[in-house]
Amino acid sequence: MAASLVLTGPMGSGKSSLGQLLAARLDCSFIDLDAVIVNKAGKSINQIFAENGEEAFRNLESAALAELAEHADKQPGQGRVVIATGGGVVLRDENRRLLRQIGVVVNLTATLEELVGRLSGADDRPLLHGEEPPAHRLKRILSERERFYADADIRIDTTGKKLEDVLAEIIRFYQTLHK
Ligand code: S3P
Protein backbone atom coordinates (compact mmCIF):
# COMPACT_ATOMS: atom_id res chain seq x y z
CA MET A 1 0.00 0.00 0.00
CA ALA A 2 2.98 2.31 0.53
CA ALA A 3 3.13 3.13 -3.17
CA SER A 4 -0.10 5.12 -3.05
CA LEU A 5 0.03 8.89 -3.20
CA VAL A 6 -1.90 11.30 -1.00
CA LEU A 7 -2.25 15.00 -1.81
CA THR A 8 -2.79 17.44 1.03
CA GLY A 9 -2.94 21.23 1.07
CA PRO A 10 -5.31 24.12 1.49
CA MET A 11 -8.38 24.83 -0.64
CA GLY A 12 -7.26 26.01 -4.04
CA SER A 13 -3.85 24.35 -3.93
CA GLY A 14 -4.76 22.11 -6.87
CA LYS A 15 -5.17 18.74 -5.16
CA SER A 16 -8.10 17.52 -7.26
CA SER A 17 -6.85 18.74 -10.64
CA LEU A 18 -3.35 17.42 -10.03
CA GLY A 19 -4.62 14.20 -8.51
CA GLN A 20 -6.61 13.33 -11.62
CA LEU A 21 -3.66 14.04 -13.89
CA LEU A 22 -1.31 12.09 -11.65
CA ALA A 23 -3.55 9.04 -11.56
CA ALA A 24 -3.80 9.08 -15.35
CA ARG A 25 -0.03 9.36 -15.62
CA LEU A 26 0.62 6.61 -13.09
CA ASP A 27 -2.14 4.49 -14.60
CA CYS A 28 -4.02 4.00 -11.35
CA SER A 29 -7.32 5.00 -9.73
CA PHE A 30 -8.05 8.48 -8.49
CA ILE A 31 -10.15 9.09 -5.39
CA ASP A 32 -11.37 12.49 -4.27
CA LEU A 33 -12.16 12.27 -0.56
CA ASP A 34 -14.68 15.13 -0.72
CA ALA A 35 -16.51 13.35 -3.54
CA VAL A 36 -16.66 10.16 -1.44
CA ILE A 37 -18.21 12.17 1.42
CA VAL A 38 -20.74 13.84 -0.89
CA ASN A 39 -21.72 10.46 -2.31
CA LYS A 40 -22.16 8.88 1.08
CA ALA A 41 -24.04 11.81 2.59
CA GLY A 42 -26.20 12.30 -0.51
CA LYS A 43 -25.70 16.06 -0.26
CA SER A 44 -23.15 18.70 -1.15
CA ILE A 45 -20.35 19.87 1.13
CA ASN A 46 -22.19 23.21 1.44
CA GLN A 47 -25.35 21.40 2.54
CA ILE A 48 -23.49 19.23 5.05
CA PHE A 49 -21.91 22.30 6.67
CA ALA A 50 -25.19 24.26 6.64
CA GLU A 51 -27.45 21.47 7.89
CA ASN A 52 -25.15 19.45 10.13
CA GLY A 53 -22.21 21.70 10.95
CA GLU A 54 -18.46 21.41 10.57
CA GLU A 55 -18.01 18.79 13.30
CA ALA A 56 -20.42 16.45 11.50
CA PHE A 57 -18.50 17.02 8.27
CA ARG A 58 -15.23 16.21 10.05
CA ASN A 59 -16.71 12.99 11.37
CA LEU A 60 -17.82 11.98 7.86
CA GLU A 61 -14.37 12.90 6.57
CA SER A 62 -12.59 10.76 9.18
CA ALA A 63 -14.93 7.82 8.54
CA ALA A 64 -14.42 8.05 4.76
CA LEU A 65 -10.65 8.21 5.21
CA ALA A 66 -10.59 5.23 7.57
CA GLU A 67 -12.57 3.18 5.06
CA LEU A 68 -10.26 4.26 2.27
CA ALA A 69 -7.19 3.33 4.29
CA GLU A 70 -8.59 -0.16 4.60
CA HIS A 71 -9.28 -0.56 0.89
CA ALA A 72 -6.74 1.67 -0.85
CA ASP A 73 -4.47 -1.22 -1.75
CA LYS A 74 -7.34 -3.17 -3.30
CA GLN A 75 -8.04 -0.58 -6.01
CA PRO A 76 -7.53 -1.69 -9.60
CA GLY A 77 -4.27 -0.56 -11.20
CA GLN A 78 -0.91 -1.62 -9.75
CA GLY A 79 -2.36 -1.79 -6.19
CA ARG A 80 -1.92 1.93 -5.83
CA VAL A 81 -4.19 4.91 -5.82
CA VAL A 82 -3.94 8.70 -5.91
CA ILE A 83 -6.05 10.43 -3.27
CA ALA A 84 -6.95 14.11 -3.16
CA THR A 85 -7.99 15.07 0.37
CA GLY A 86 -10.02 18.03 1.61
CA GLY A 87 -7.94 20.87 3.01
CA GLY A 88 -8.94 20.20 6.62
CA VAL A 89 -8.26 16.48 6.73
CA VAL A 90 -4.91 17.14 8.42
CA LEU A 91 -6.58 18.66 11.49
CA ARG A 92 -7.10 15.36 13.29
CA ASP A 93 -4.13 13.30 14.54
CA GLU A 94 -5.85 10.08 13.60
CA ASN A 95 -6.37 11.29 10.02
CA ARG A 96 -2.72 12.25 9.65
CA ARG A 97 -1.76 8.79 10.87
CA LEU A 98 -4.05 7.21 8.26
CA LEU A 99 -2.67 9.41 5.46
CA ARG A 100 0.83 8.18 6.29
CA GLN A 101 -0.43 4.62 6.42
CA ILE A 102 -1.95 4.96 2.95
CA GLY A 103 1.18 6.19 1.26
CA VAL A 104 3.48 9.01 0.24
CA VAL A 105 2.14 12.36 1.46
CA VAL A 106 2.63 15.24 -0.97
CA ASN A 107 1.71 18.65 0.41
CA LEU A 108 0.83 21.34 -2.10
CA THR A 109 1.38 24.94 -1.09
CA ALA A 110 0.73 28.34 -2.64
CA THR A 111 0.94 31.90 -1.40
CA LEU A 112 -2.11 33.43 0.25
CA GLU A 113 -2.51 35.82 -2.69
CA GLU A 114 -2.46 32.99 -5.20
CA LEU A 115 -4.99 30.93 -3.24
CA VAL A 116 -7.32 33.90 -2.86
CA GLY A 117 -7.12 34.50 -6.61
CA ARG A 118 -7.81 30.86 -7.44
CA LEU A 119 -10.75 30.71 -5.04
CA SER A 120 -12.40 33.98 -6.03
CA GLY A 121 -15.81 33.19 -7.41
CA ALA A 122 -15.90 29.67 -5.93
CA ASP A 123 -19.03 29.27 -3.84
CA ASP A 124 -18.47 25.65 -2.82
CA ARG A 125 -16.13 26.39 0.11
CA PRO A 126 -18.39 26.81 3.16
CA LEU A 127 -15.49 27.82 5.41
CA LEU A 128 -15.13 30.99 3.31
CA HIS A 129 -18.83 31.89 3.44
CA GLY A 130 -18.96 33.70 6.78
CA GLU A 131 -18.79 37.39 7.65
CA GLU A 132 -15.00 37.41 7.65
CA PRO A 133 -13.41 38.38 4.31
CA PRO A 134 -12.16 35.20 2.54
CA ALA A 135 -8.54 36.43 2.51
CA HIS A 136 -8.54 36.89 6.31
CA ARG A 137 -10.21 33.58 6.92
CA LEU A 138 -7.84 31.78 4.60
CA LYS A 139 -4.84 33.42 6.24
CA ARG A 140 -5.98 32.17 9.65
CA ILE A 141 -6.64 28.70 8.26
CA LEU A 142 -3.14 28.56 6.76
CA SER A 143 -1.44 29.57 9.97
CA GLU A 144 -3.56 27.20 12.08
CA ARG A 145 -2.72 24.28 9.80
CA GLU A 146 0.85 25.03 8.80
CA ARG A 147 2.42 22.53 11.22
CA PHE A 148 0.04 19.81 10.02
CA TYR A 149 0.68 20.49 6.35
CA ALA A 150 4.41 20.38 7.11
CA ASP A 151 3.97 16.75 8.17
CA ALA A 152 4.53 15.46 4.61
CA ASP A 153 7.13 13.57 2.60
CA ILE A 154 7.52 16.49 0.24
CA ARG A 155 6.10 20.00 0.00
CA ILE A 156 5.69 21.54 -3.42
CA ASP A 157 5.02 25.21 -4.01
CA THR A 158 2.53 25.56 -6.85
CA THR A 159 2.54 29.37 -6.94
CA GLY A 160 2.72 30.66 -10.49
CA LYS A 161 3.46 27.19 -11.88
CA LYS A 162 1.71 25.31 -14.65
CA LEU A 163 -0.08 22.13 -13.59
CA GLU A 164 2.15 20.18 -15.96
CA ASP A 165 5.30 21.42 -14.19
CA VAL A 166 3.97 20.59 -10.73
CA LEU A 167 2.96 17.20 -12.05
CA ALA A 168 6.49 16.58 -13.31
CA GLU A 169 7.92 17.54 -9.90
CA ILE A 170 5.65 15.11 -8.09
CA ILE A 171 6.40 12.30 -10.52
CA ARG A 172 10.15 12.89 -10.26
CA PHE A 173 9.94 12.68 -6.48
CA TYR A 174 7.69 9.61 -6.59
CA GLN A 175 10.06 7.83 -8.94
CA THR A 176 13.02 8.41 -6.65
CA LEU A 177 11.06 6.47 -4.00
CA HIS A 178 9.71 3.69 -6.18
CA LYS A 179 12.36 2.78 -8.71
C1 S3P B 1 -12.11 22.21 3.61
C2 S3P B 1 -11.71 22.04 2.32
C3 S3P B 1 -12.61 21.53 1.27
C4 S3P B 1 -13.73 20.69 1.87
C5 S3P B 1 -14.42 21.43 2.97
C6 S3P B 1 -13.48 21.84 4.10
C7 S3P B 1 -11.15 22.73 4.61
O8 S3P B 1 -11.88 20.75 0.32
O9 S3P B 1 -13.23 19.49 2.38
O10 S3P B 1 -15.01 22.57 2.39
O11 S3P B 1 -11.39 22.55 5.82
O12 S3P B 1 -10.12 23.31 4.19
P13 S3P B 1 -10.81 21.36 -0.74
O14 S3P B 1 -9.52 21.52 -0.01
O15 S3P B 1 -10.74 20.34 -1.80
O16 S3P B 1 -11.37 22.66 -1.19
* 40-74 pLDDT per residue, tens: 999 999 999 999 999 999 999 999 999 999 987 66
Looking at residue 77, its pLDDT comes to 58
Mutate to test the pocket of ligand 1, among 48, 127, 143, 158 (most ligand atoms within 8 A of CB): 127
Looking at residue 2, its pLDDT comes to 46
pTM to 2 decimal places:
0.95
CB 46 within 8 A of CB 124: yes
Helices (H), the chain: 15-26, 33-41, 45-52, 54-71, 93-102, 112-119, 134-149, 163-177
Please give the number of the atom of ligand 1 that sits closest to the Cα of 16: 15
pLDDT digits (tens, 9 = 90+) for 9-43: 999 999 999 999 999 999 999 999 999 999 999 99
Q: Is the CB of 34 under 6 A from ligand 1?
A: yes
3-state secondary structure (DSSP) of residue 36: helix
Percent of the chain with pLDDT over 90: 88
Distance 125 CA to ligand 1 centre (A): 6
